[in-house]
Each structure stands twice: as C-alpha cells, then as structure tokens.
Amino acid sequence: MSDNDTLFGKIIRREIPANIVYEDDQVLGFKDIAPQAPVHVLFVPKNEAIPTLDDLKPQQAELVGRLVLAAAEYARREGLAEDGYRVVMNCREHGGQTVYHIHLHLLAGAHLGRFGTPR
C-alpha cells in the first residue's frame, strides 16, 4: 500500500467496518454508505492507493480494467447485468470526487436517467 492513506485504506485493512460484497486479489467491493441508486457499490484497488485518475500511470492501466471487470462480475452475479447498470469514476472537484483513492461506482437497480448536469 502506498502512503496515500484514506478512509478506503482503513476499509481495505478492516480498521473501519463496511458492507463488503466483492473481493479478489486486487479489488475490494463494498456498498456505498449514501447510495445514489437501489444498488450502489464501490470498487477500489486493494494494493495501490492512487489518489485520482489524473495520477494514473500507463503501467497501472490494468488496475482500472480490473475495477471494471470486478463491477461487471458482481453485476452478473447479482442478476443486474441483463437490465443494465452504470459505472462512474469521479476525478477531483468538478467530477465530484470526495475520497482521494481511486474507485469505481456501480449504480444499478433502476432506470438511472441522464447524467452530467452541471449544478
């Protein structure tokens, strides 16, 4: 683990509780504490705490692929894939990022409508 310790680092190390619903060798998935859809799960890299997408290096590209694959596998497992879902990664302030340890949101369980409206 790098020295970018965040709330998600504490969840990964089981120092604070979370509703963990997915785990493999590289990715942890847990339910978002403030869900924005009937199903809202966060997928985070377990072994590297990269602050934002803007910090991602080409040699770390596989890690983002693993987040996407983990979300897709979870969605299939939970019977969400046929109806469909959305995955989102927020980057910094205008993207709405609040936790600076990259993560992928999986949103599902209802028609989600359009997105990206400026506030």
**Site residues (CB under 6 A) for ligand 5GP?**
7, 18, 30-34, 42, 90, 96-99
Catalytic residue chosen out of the listed positions 40, 94, 103, 105:
103
Which stretch of DSSP H or E encloses residue 104? Answer: strand 104-108
Query: CA 89 to CA 98: how far, in whole Å?
Result: 11
Beta carbon nearer to ligand 5GP, 34 or 94 = 34
Least separation in angstroms between residue 82's CB and ligand 5GP is 25
Separation between Cα atoms, residue 96 and residue 90, nearest integer Å: 6
111 is catalytic: no
Bridge partners of 108, per DSSP, are 39, 85
State which residue, 15 or 82, has the beta carbon closest to ligand 5GP. Answer: 15
User: Would you name the residues annotated as active-site residues?
Assistant: 103
